[in-house]
Amino acid sequence: MNTDEFVVEAKARITWGEDPASVRGFLTASGMTASDADIAIQELVAERTKELRKRGLISTCAWGTILCACVIFDIYEFSHRASGPSLRQGKAMFYVGFFGIFAIWRLMNGLSDLIKPKSDARLLCDVEE
């Protein structure tokens, strides 16, 4: 294998969440100099971080929009009660409220990916879009 194939293997390992120190050991054991390995790893980690931030931004925008829709629906239903709460309105508000709590949880996950992606040990394939 030539150096480009080792870098492709290192990219795969970094993308799947392997520790950069072990990837550095793999590259140096494969014949790459330590300084070249460090430069390659810095680029690969930066690429992974950029991808996690991009997915975090998409998730934050999507779940934030869904959360806003849930809040608007609940406010509308609450303000348009005719003579008191009906069972249909109560059920609708309960389910939308429950979905709103789920949206808050997903919004927090997206924000954590957006703000601090390096601390995330999850695989990129596990990060949902």
Q: Where in the chain are the domains? A: 3-126
Taking 70 as the threshold, does the pLDDT of residue 94 lie above it?
yes
Q: What's this model's pTM, rounded to 2 decimal places? A: 0.70
- Over the chain, what is the mean pLDDT? 82
Q: What tokens were used for 59?
A: 């998730």
Taking 70 as the threshold, does the pLDDT of residue 82 lie above it?
no
Where is 99: in which H helix or E strand?
helix 87-115
Average pLDDT over residues 1-7: 78
Residues 6+ apart with CB under 8 A from 15: 44, 48, 123, 124
Going by pLDDT thresholds of 50, 70 and 90, the confidence category of residue 80 is confident
As a whole number of angstroms, the distance between CA 83 and CA 65 comes to 31
Give the largest Cα separation in the chain, rounded.
Answer: 79
As a whole number of angstroms, the distance between CA 97 and CA 49 comes to 33
